[in-house]
Structure 1
Amino acid sequence: MENILGSAASASKTVLITGVSRGLGKALALELAKRGHTVIGCSRSLDKLSSLQSELASVSSENNKDNKHLIMDTDVRSNTSVEELARAVVENKAVPDIIVNNAGTINRNNRIWEVPVDEFDTVIDINIKGTANVLRHFIPIMIENKQGILVNMSSGWGRSAAAQVAPYCASKWAVEGLTRAVAKELPAGLAIVALSPGVINTEMLQSCFGNSASLYPTPESWAPKAANMILNLTVADNGASLTV
């Protein structure tokens, strides 16, 4: 069984990752490119995307030098922006085998009645609506392709709760519920999972934990294990809540 999984994971795949300009998204993109996979990446951080394109090219394995990674300026909060990304993917004949809904944000530590309205809205718009926008435009493409794996990045706080991050907890609980519901809607050949990355030293963790965030693993040390897990997902995992 392990040989079969290893073989499946080693076959070159096209992977779409949202929120690819930093943190977990960037680390995962570079790890996948290093292994010979093609990355479709999107982010709102236009200034970071051109340097990412260069980094992806420099780490890409020799057998993938001719494959061009597609990096786009996309705001997942905008349905129109995600629609444009989907159109570009189809035009480039780069339909993803795997989608990682990674774009996410967290509120500054605060009790719910002290969280500014616009900050609450941003968490909901990116973490829930952003995920839904990607599903809305890419599931039909995957259905036409008769295969695909969708990974919605969740959190331990999508399965438990903590004070002062209620908007974030609410958004990740929503991601868990959304994933389970969509799993019941997908046709044969497709699967969707909710994946908690574990506790990783990202800017979001630093926002919550302050200096103690440095006690946790870096995105770069997390990425190889995450890549192994994501590349080995199958339709049998449909609807699962997993942790790296």
Structure 2
Amino acid sequence: MTAPKPGGGAAAAARAAAAGPRTVLITGVSRGLGRALALELARRGHAVVGCGRSAEHLRSLEAEITSPSRHFLTVADVRSDSSVAELAKAAVERKQVPDVIVNNAGTINKNNKTWNVPAEDFDMVVDTNIKGTANVLRHFVPLMIEKRHGIIVNLSSGWGRSAAAEVAPYCASKWAIEGLTRSLAKELPPGLAAIALSPGVVNTDMLTSCFGSSAALYQTTETWAPKAATMILSLSLDDNGASLTV
């Protein structure tokens, strides 16, 4: 496993630029980190295949994104295996099989003691954060194997490497992403790599859910996105199995 490397810097920027335009699949693209990352990658000339559950939010993104005709933004729910299967089929038909996958779609439980978290809230976290990631891998990794190249980025969290009170379902899901990614990295054939990436602490709706008004003290998605884009685009096969942080 490689040592952590910074999210920015001239060397990372050079590596990112050297690879040329790529097609990047981002789940949960309609808001938060996914939306900001999509806008940044499009600004840099990359093609985005993006999915989210809100058609309204996707229309808003499409209205703002650079060169909208280059991208494929569509409603899909990663919790549904059949929905992800349709997304993969559409990507193949459009000749937009991704070079990079960013499994970003995620949710968090409302702050609560573990034994007081309603079953439906726990299910939502597991179904989105763990099963949703697995659904994407199930349908897109074979396409990457066929192309014989691809970088898979599964978004983890600082709470996937530590723990906090009242967010046990979320912590459990992100610890699961760390383990899933390391296992996947051992299974991938030559030409592919899987990385668990913590975005760091960013002011999003999810952070507000945990921190309340204190979330405003942290970096915005707009500040985060250029650093994240540079780091993701500079990832290589040498990073296979790594746990990194933007």
Instruction: Give TM class, smaller chain.
Output: over 0.9
Q: How does 1:224-235 map to 2 (within 5 A)?
A: 224-235=226-237
Counterpart pick for 2:179 among 177, 183, 197 = 177
Structure scoring higher RCO (CA < 8 A, sep ≥ 6) equals 2
Distance 1:142 1:8 in 2: 20
Q: Which residue does 1:83 correspond to in 2?
A: 85
Of residues 33, 39, 45, the one that matches 1:30 is 39
Q: What letter matches 1:55 in structure 2?
A: E
Q: Determine the C-alpha separation between the residues in 2 that align with 1:152 and 1:75.
A: 17
**Sequence identity (%):** 68
Letter paired with 1:214:
A
Q: If the length of structure 1 is used for normalisation, what is the TM-score?
A: 0.94
User: In the alignment, residue 104 of structure 1 is paired with which amino acid?
Assistant: G
Amino acid at match of 2:136: V
The correspondence of residues 162-201 of structure 1 with structure 2, limited to 5 A, is 162-201=164-203
Secondary structure of the structure 2 residue equivalent to 1:201: coil
* Deviation by residue 1:50-105 (Cα, 9 ceiling, x = unmatched): 1211211xx34xxxx7x520011000000000000000000000011100000000
Residue among 128, 146, 149 paired with 2:148: 146
Q: How far apart, CA to CA, are the structure 1 residues paired with 2:179 and 2:138?
A: 16
Deviant stretches of 4+, over 3 Å: 1-4
User: Does the 8 Å CA contact 2:16/2:231 hold for their aligned counterparts?
Assistant: no
136, 155, 158: which one aligns with 1:156: 158
Q: Write out per-residue CA displacement over residues 134-169 of structure 1, whole angstroms, 9 at most, x where no aligned residue.
A: 000000000000000000000000000000000000
Which consecutive unaligned segments of at least 5 residues does structure 1 have? Answer: none
Provide, for residues 170-223 of structure 1, a one-character-per-residue CA deviation record: whole Å limited to 9, x for no partner.
000000000000000000000000000000000000000000000000011000
Q: Provide the TM-score with structure 2 as the length reference.
A: 0.93
Question: In structure 2, what is the Cα distance between the partners aligned to 1:50 and 1:104?
Answer: 20
Q: CA deviation at 1:8?
A: 2.4
Which residue does the alignment assign to 1:8?
18
Counterpart Cα distance in 2 of 1:7 and 1:218 = 24
Amino acid at match of 1:5: R
Cα pair distance change 1:173/1:143, threshold 3 Å = same
Q: 1:74 and 2:80 equivalent?
A: no
2:70 is paired with a residue whose SS is coil
Structure 1 equivalent of residue 55 of structure 2: 46
**Aligned mates of 1:26, 1:50 — CA distance in 2:** 12
Partner of 2:3: none
| Secondary structure of the structure 1 residue equivalent to 2:139 | helix
Q: How does 1:49-68 map to 2 (within 5 A)?
A: 49-56=58-65, 59-60=66-67, 68=70
Q: What are the ranges of 5 or more consecutive residues in structure 2 without an aligned counterpart?
A: 1-9
Contact persistence 2:153–2:197 (CA under 8 A): yes
Contact 2:16 2:233 in 1 (8 A): no
Aligned length: 236
1:7 Cα offset (Å): 3.9
**RMSD across aligned C-alpha pairs, in angstroms?**
1.3
